[in-house]
Amino acid sequence: MSIPLSGPDITQAEIEAVAAVMRSGRLSLGPKLEEFEAAFSSYVRVPYAAAVSSGTAGLHLAVKALGIGEGHEVIVPSFTFIAAANAIRYERAKPVFVDIDPTTLNLDPCVVEAAITSRTRAILVVHTCGVPADVEKLLTIARRYGLILIEDACEALGAERHGKKVGTFGAAGVFGFYPNKQITTSEGGMIVTNDEKLAVRVRSLRNHGRTRKGEWFEHNEIGYNYRLSELHAAMGIEQLKRIEPILARRAEIAQRYNERLAECEHISLPLSELADGKITWFVYLIRLTKKFSRAQRDAVVEAMGKRGIACGRYFAPIHLQKPYQVEGSKLPVTENVAERTIALPFFNALSESQLDEVCAALRECVERAAGATRPAKRAARS
């Protein structure tokens, strides 16, 4: 593809930091890991942060360390990446999928409360595409019913609710650093919490369940190799130093898209502002209007691809996918939204000329798809 869907923002500083670690001879469980965790906890303003090998690993450890397991139910959105549900299933708990708010694309607190049963143990809220969920309402519900609140903030680094960073409201928050995220460590993730005991357990679990004292062949419980290397941590330190200009550039690109696509009658633009929160841009996700079918959306994506412009279908509802499909399961808002969304190329190096090319091609492809549904004109009678 001549214009990819995403790309990392890497500078010489990251390259030099990784090279310095390679020259040091200390590649794992060293000072860079501790430095990255300290810098991250300072940025989100919580006392404890534990770096792990991926956002998925972080979600798994949060679920496990918080005692969620067999016989428990966890309320979770279906309109998200499948890792959120998988992390629940890893511990033999049951994901209970509920619908989303059609504007924010986040969990709808009203339907969350209606889904609570005697087996519900937790709510796993996702801050979808960098838009902060109504976490205060969800936290109120969780406290009312004695539930745990876990935040999947893997797409929302820097997002806020009433001046407080998302990921810091619940018992644990999880962030991801895959190359398409706001900052990247190539692969990696972070768990944050205000609970020291939880932080200690997570750090043990990520390192094969080793004891706090660190004896290499002494273990408290069955754990995992979910460590983040020194190379990844060094990269994360440099990325985090630039977090504000990185987020500002992403917001600027989103605004450029808004300006170019504002007059497109068949396109709904993504939510750009919240009165009580701050959005941080993970993807630029448009929606085709309700007249478009999934097949037409797919035709637009395919046509864009033929022009060398990569687009994505965000998200395929989890409850309709083979590992989770249940006969008769219906989430109307989720299904309706998912059939019409398109993620456009979105990364910091996207140029003005590329933005022009993407938007011009999109308008043409959408108009063509819209025209394909119009009834043919009757031939004039002779």
Q: Per-residue pLDDT tens for 145-172?
A: 999 999 999 999 999 999 999 999 999 9
- Is 168 inside any structural domain? yes
How large is the angle between the packed helices 352-371 and 294-306, nearest 10 degrees?
140
- Per-residue tokens: 193: 């919490």
| pLDDT for the residue numbered 382 | 32
Query: DSSP string covering 216-266, please?
Result: TT-BSS---B---BHHHHHHHHHHHHTHHHHHHHHHHHHHHHHHHHTT-TT
Residue span of the structural domain in which 267 resides = 243-371
Q: Does 200 share its domain with 74?
A: yes
Average pLDDT over residues 162-185: 98
> Any idea which residues carry the catalytic annotation?
181
**What's 63's domain CATH number?**
3.40.640.10
Report the C-alpha gap between 44 and 157 in whole angstroms.
Answer: 9
Report the C-alpha gap between 261 and 266 in whole angstroms.
Answer: 10
Q: Does 43 share its domain with 79?
A: yes
- Is 381 inside any structural domain? no
Number of domains in the chain: 2
Q: Does 145 share its domain with 229?
A: yes
Report the C-alpha gap between 128 and 322 in whole angstroms.
Answer: 22
Neighbouring C-beta atoms of residue 194, cutoff 10 Å: 15
Report the C-alpha gap between 278 and 100 in whole angstroms.
Answer: 19
Using DSSP, state whether 309 is helix, strand or coil.
strand
- Asked if the model's pLDDT at residue 380 lies above 50, the reply is no
Q: Does 159 share its domain with 265?
A: no
Q: Does 214 share its domain with 310?
A: no
C-beta separation of 166 from 182 below 8 A: no
Give residue 327's identity as a one-letter amino acid code. E
Which of 137-151, 210-224, 318-332 has the least mean pLDDT? 210-224
Neighbouring C-beta atoms of residue 26, cutoff 10 Å: 13
Q: Does 207 share its domain with 296?
A: no
Q: Does 169 share its domain with 277?
A: no
177 φ, ψ (degrees, to nearest 5)? -130, 35
Sheet of 277-278: strands edge to edge? Answer: 164-165, 160-161, 277-278
- Per-residue tokens: 112: 């969350």
- Asked if the model's pLDDT at residue 373 lies above 70, the reply is no
Using DSSP, state whether 208 is helix, strand or coil.
coil
The H-assigned helical ranges of the chain are 12-24, 31-44, 55-65, 83-90, 109-114, 135-145, 196-205, 230-241, 243-261, 294-306, 332-338, 352-371
- Is 3 inside any structural domain? no
67-116 pLDDT, tens digit per residue, is: 999 999 999 999 999 999 999 999 999 999 999 999 999 999 999 999 99
Average pLDDT of the chain to the nearest whole number: 95
**Of 241, 272, 287, which marks where a domain is finished?**
241
- Is 330 inside any structural domain? yes
Residue 351 backbone class (left: φ over 0; alpha: ψ -120 to 50; beta: rest) = beta
Q: How confident is the model at residue 381 (pLDDT cuts 50, 70, 90)?
A: very low
Q: Which residues pair with 133 in a beta bridge?
A: none
Among 337, 213, 237, which Cα is nearest to 36's?
Answer: 237
Q: Does 292 share its domain with 212?
A: no
Among 112, 59, 105, which Cα is nearest to 282's?
Answer: 105
| pLDDT for the residue numbered 379 | 42
**What's 358's domain CATH number?**
3.90.1150.10
Report the C-alpha gap between 7 and 41 in whole angstroms.
Answer: 26
> Tokens 């043409």 belong to which residue?
364
Q: Does 236 share its domain with 247?
A: no
C-beta separation of 57 from 86 below 8 A: no
| pLDDT for the residue numbered 329 | 84
Q: Does 233 share its domain with 261?
A: no
Give residue 241's identity as a one-letter amino acid code. K
335-353 pLDDT, tens digit per residue, is: 999 999 999 999 999 999 9
> Tokens 């941080």 belong to which residue?
280
Report the C-alpha gap between 108 and 304 in whole angstroms.
Answer: 33
